[in-house]
């Protein structure tokens, strides 16, 4: 490219448009063609870059940012899982300890036999054992009972049952027992030593008329408790 303009001999302070035009007239045609080609190449490059390459680069950059964001979220989620596992491992022994206080399905089904064995060991006769309908105790009700404070919660629709909302079940059992008073006291003590959640909600003790041995007749209601996740 022969584009020789002697800038040293140009007085830039006093230069005019005519001077510039005169200098440019001395430039060869081939030089102008080369200049035009170079400028055209630059324009084509800019068109390709901004029209084709730049959108692709921006798209890839967006995908990379999205991938990095998801990677961060995944790491946070993994951290939460690990924390949850650690907490479960920590409370599992306590859960296993306290869950034994609740009756299992087999223990509920075998309740009559258990009570009969305890009664026979204390010279008592069971004349009635009647299991009533199971009562659901929601988690909200359990918290209110434990704290003595009412909690705000959504009301449950009629007929709607969700196992995840149930804390435990209570099973009332009506009973009648005849025998010696001291034997009955020992019977209740044996039940308390079984380390199961069992409450005597109602209890009526009367002396059997005409019995010279001082026999008593006890009627009432005891309640056993079962975990929702265990067998219901």
Q: What is the pLDDT of residues 11-45, one digit of tens each?
A: 555 556 566 556 656 655 666 566 667 767 777 67
The pLDDT, as a whole number, for residue 77 is 84
Residue 1 inside a domain? The answer is no
Decide if 179 contacts 122 (C-beta within 8 A).
Answer: yes
Residue 160 inside a domain? The answer is no
Beta bridge partners of 223: 172, 199
Q: Are residues 82 and 118 in the same domain?
A: no
Residue 6 inside a domain? The answer is no
Alpha-carbon span 133 to 120, nearest angstrom? 27
Q: Are residues 112 and 48 in the same domain?
A: no
The residue ranges of the chain whose pLDDT is under 70 are 1-36, 39, 44, 46, 48-54, 91-103, 146, 151-164, 228-232
Q: Are residues 113 and 196 in the same domain?
A: yes
The pLDDT, as a whole number, for residue 113 is 84
Helix, strand or coil, per DSSP, at residue 232: coil
Q: Are residues 143 and 222 in the same domain?
A: yes
pTM: predicted TM-score of the whole model, two decimal places: 0.51
Residue 177 inside a domain? The answer is yes
User: Which bin fits 168, alpha (ψ -120 to 50), beta or left (φ > 0)?
Assistant: beta
Q: Domain containing 223: what range?
A: 105-151+165-231
The pLDDT, as a whole number, for residue 155 is 46
Q: Are residues 48 and 93 in the same domain?
A: yes
Q: Are residues 75 and 190 in the same domain?
A: no
């Amino acid at each position: 490219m022969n584009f020789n303009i002697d800038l040293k001999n140009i007085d830039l302070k006093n230069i005019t448009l005519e001077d510039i035009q005169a200098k440019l007239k001395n430039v060869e045609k081939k030089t102008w063609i080369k200049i035009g080609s170079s400028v055209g190449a630059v324009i084509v490059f800019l068109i390709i870059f901004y029209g084709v390459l730049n959108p692709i680069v921006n798209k890839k950059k967006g995908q990379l940012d999205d991938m990095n964001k998801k990677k961060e979220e995944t790491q946070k989620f993994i951290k939460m899982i690990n924390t949850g596992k650690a907490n479960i491992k920590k409370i599992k022994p306590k859960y296993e300890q306290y869950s034994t206080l609740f009756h299992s399905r087999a223990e509920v089904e075998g309740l009559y036999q258990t009570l009969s064995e305890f009664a026979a060991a204390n010279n008592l006769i069971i004349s009635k054992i009647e299991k009533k309908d199971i009562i659901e105790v929601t988690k909200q009700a359990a918290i209110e009972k434990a704290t003595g404070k009412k909690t705000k919660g959504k009301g449950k629709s009629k007929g709607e049952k969700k196992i995840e909302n149930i804390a435990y079940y209570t099973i009332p059992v009506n009973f009648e027992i005849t025998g010696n008073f001291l034997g009955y006291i020992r019977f209740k003590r044996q039940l308390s030593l079984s380390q199961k959640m069992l409450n005597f909600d109602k209890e009526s003790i009367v002396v059997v008329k005409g019995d010279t041995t001082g026999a008593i007749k006890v009627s009432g209601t005891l309640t056993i408790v079962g975990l929702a996740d265990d067998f219901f």
